[in-house]
Amino acid sequence: MPELSRAVRATDEGAVVEVHVQPRASRNELAGLHEGRLKLRLTAPPVEGEANRECVRFMARLLGVPPSSVVILHGRKSRGKTLLVRGVGVQDVIDKLGLETGS
């Protein structure tokens, strides 16, 4: 699946994950792909960094890593965010999130 390869890619430090955040959702959940990014629905509102903090906590919980391992590289003020997950490989992300690679 070409969209998945755009959404999750490897770096020297770990995996870079492109996400699209939908704040003020009814519950926190991974909701598939949206324009080449993983779509995260989060209950937190997009004010005073609350959605960013919830995004980091939620991704850390999904991937089984400490929140300190998840860093927002780009997109602190937009719905499209680029996350770095330190110490995790691309295949780990795909497996832990239950994503289909299409191969």
What is d(CA 38, CA 91) in angstroms, rounded to the nearest whole number?
15
pTM of the predicted model over 0.85:
yes
> What are the structural domains, with CATH classification, of the chain?
2-97 (3.30.1200.10)
Q: How open is the CA angle 45-4-70, to the nearest 5 degrees?
A: 45
Q: Residue 5 has what pLDDT?
A: 77
pLDDT at 103 over 80: no
Is the pLDDT reported for residue 31 higher than 70? Answer: yes
Condensed to tens digits (0 to 9), the pLDDT of residues 42-91 reads 999 999 999 999 999 999 999 999 999 999 999 999 999 999 999 999 99
Indicate whether 8 pLDDT > 70: yes
